[in-house]
Amino acid sequence: MQMTPEAILKEYFGYDRFRAGQAPLVQRILSGGDVLGIMPTGAGKSVCYQVPAMLLTGMTIVISPLISLMEDQVAALREAGIPAACLHSNLDSSAYYRTLDAVRNGEVRLLYAAPERLLTDMFLSLTDTVAIAMVAVDEAHCLSQWGQDFRPSYLQITEFLHLLPRRPVVAAFTATATETVRADIRRLLDLQSPLELVTGFDRANLRWIVERPSNKYRALLEVLKRNRGKSGIVYCISRNQTDKVCEKLRADGYAAGRYHAGMSAEERSANQEAFLHDELQIITATNAFGMGIDKSNVSFVVHYNMPKSMEAYYQEAGRAGRDGSPAECVLLFSAQDISTNMLLIESSAQDNDRLTPQQRGIIRRKDEERLQAMVRYCSLTDCLRHYILRYFGEESPDRCGNCGSCLTDTETVDATVPAQKILSCVYRVRQRGSACGAKMLCDILQGKDTKQLQERGYAQLSTYGLMQDVSRVQLEHMVNILISRGYLVTDTGQYRTLSLGERAIPVLRGQKQVSMSLPLHDLKETRRAQRLAAMPDYELDDALFQKLRKVRERLAAREHMPAYIVFSDATLREMCVKRPSDEEELLAISGVGRHKLEKYGAAFLEALSGGGV
């Protein structure tokens, strides 16, 4: 009897129902149609091609950008009882040929490969003898020159599809893509009337936080204190900073490792494996780490520096809370991050010799626009979640109640007059043929008597000392709000000077009012810290939860695999709440499929019944 997609989902993945958006994509693939799925990290993109791969006649090729991602997904599929394999450059010759033989013998349902493999003679020879039912393109935004992570090797996919004896179903997936990037994906993959589905971008379990600390490392330690004993990623903007932060964490007693392109492949692989197996609690890394990493129990992601785009930030931060558990995404911002990212953008534009000078110029302008959007996010005092969702074209309430801004006590005031004073000061400075950054702007408005202000003649401005009765903290918040809303624009050059945005003119002319939610300062920091530390209470028997984690750890060690591949924390929590007492009840737990039940069910049922670990 032919199995249904729902039966496959339960049998192998242990889920009773598809998540939002998954079922229509699966059905379209099974009916022979192409699809383009834009689904946030953690929304279950892989299920959309893994389930139909078990039902289609022929093999599915999954094109993936990173070896670590391929190995991660193949390990999880095999553990679920699905025949999968991968071909990549790290395999020794015997393993490579064993995989080829298994493919030719029809023993593989999903074959993962990097785009660089596709046009090799050995890989193409497979397609002459093995029927290809579907080609699934993971991280499809890498196809587009206008995306945040363009990879020229992805352009080989188009030629590969044209060389196949028969065109298979083509399924493309990514976490983030603007309309321009989606158009590129459709065109370059020659998608045939695809079902294009964009699911909601909101990850309700994630708490978004932006800090502007005077000491970033101290702020990082506060995050670790809130997440004591939990697993997390700390992204740094450079290799040097990655090493330094890792060294400091180790010196302070944390089980930390590092990951960046300047390390040997052996050390990178060893550290990643240790992190996946929970031998390392924290990994400090450049953005070379993590694309597609399926580790489900990451409880926090900290960006030690501002990324260069919202797309990159959303994808990297979204590696927290993949199993649906509450997690936090913290960005530690400093003004220096802006100029550092500009240097990276300039370097990237110069290095891309596949593009014409005109194309490089267009891409650079797009990158600068994305950087400005990121700067506005870091300047927010309004709801962070609302800004993220609005950036990706999704409507949402003005306040979410669960981000760093919403957890700060504020009052909404009519700030039209203060806004006019701030904007007028920027205008007066520019009128003199000069420019200033946010710090100097506040110094002028507060009438600071500094040598720099005197030398530049700013003490003679009509706006000098105009806001000396406003606290420095409140004034900085007002400036940040005006930046975040586009009234002020931060130059991306070395000195990060301010200029008036288009929205400033109606305010200066008295044609538009400005309201602001400003922090209340009585006990503000204490209350905010308490609220940030307060994560949802699961009302679990913690002793039982830790007992189940030890069972999982023992079974994972026996199989030489990460613990989360056995069962996620979310699955263990559900076991604690529902206390299944037999195989039928255990099978009803989300994440428990038939194969895992047969393999691990007895051990967990014994622990749940009060037996030893």
Domain layout of the chain by residue ranges? 5-198, 206-391, 411-519, 542-608
CATH architecture group of domain 411-519: Orthogonal Bundle (1.10)
- What pTM does this model have? 0.75
Residue-level pLDDT at 329: 96
Residue-level pLDDT at 294: 67
Among 83, 80, 73, smallest CA distance to 12 is for: 80
Among 345, 361, 348, 230, smallest CA distance to 283 is for: 230
Rounded distance between C-alpha atoms, residue 50 and residue 45, angstroms: 9
Instruction: Quote the crossing angle between the two packed helices 357-378 and 472-484, to the nearest 10°.
Output: 140
> Which parts of the chain have pLDDT scores under 50?
1, 292, 522-524
Q: Which residue has the tokens 């669960």?
A: 402
CATH superfamily of 5-198: P-loop containing nucleotide triphosphate hydrolases (3.40.50.300)
* Exposure b/e, 16-41, CB count within 10 A at least 16 = b: eebbebbbebbebbbeebbbbbbbbb
Q: What percent of the chain has pLDDT over 70?
A: 92
CATH architecture group of domain 542-608: Orthogonal Bundle (1.10)
Q: What six digits make up the tokens of 334?
A: 């400093």
Residue-level pLDDT at 292: 47
- Cβ distance 470 to 418 under 8 Å? yes
- Cβ distance 316 to 303 under 8 Å? yes
In degrees, rounded to 5, the angle at the alpha carbon of residue 350 between the alpha carbons of residues 349 and 356 is 75
Q: Is 185 helix (H, G, I), strand (E, B) or coil?
A: helix
Residue-level pLDDT at 522: 44
DSSP string across 534-590: -PPP----HHHHHHHHHHHHHHHHHHTS-HHHH--HHHHHHHHHH---SHHHHHTST
Residue-level pLDDT at 352: 62
Residue-level pLDDT at 288: 66
Question: Quick check: do 206-391 and 411-519 share a fold?
Answer: no
Residue-level pLDDT at 253: 95
Class of 206-391 in CATH: alpha beta
Among 104, 110, 108, 162, smallest CA distance to 136 is for: 110
Give the pLDDT confidence of 501-549 residue by residue, as tens digits: 999 999 999 999 999 887 775 444 556 666 666 665 556 787 898 899 8
- Cβ distance 40 to 203 under 8 Å? yes
Give the pLDDT confidence of 97-135 residue by residue, as tens digits: 899 999 999 999 999 998 998 999 889 988 888 999 999
Among 483, 473, 484, smallest CA distance to 518 is for: 473
Strands, E assignment, 83-199: 84-87, 110-113, 132-137, 169-174, 195-198
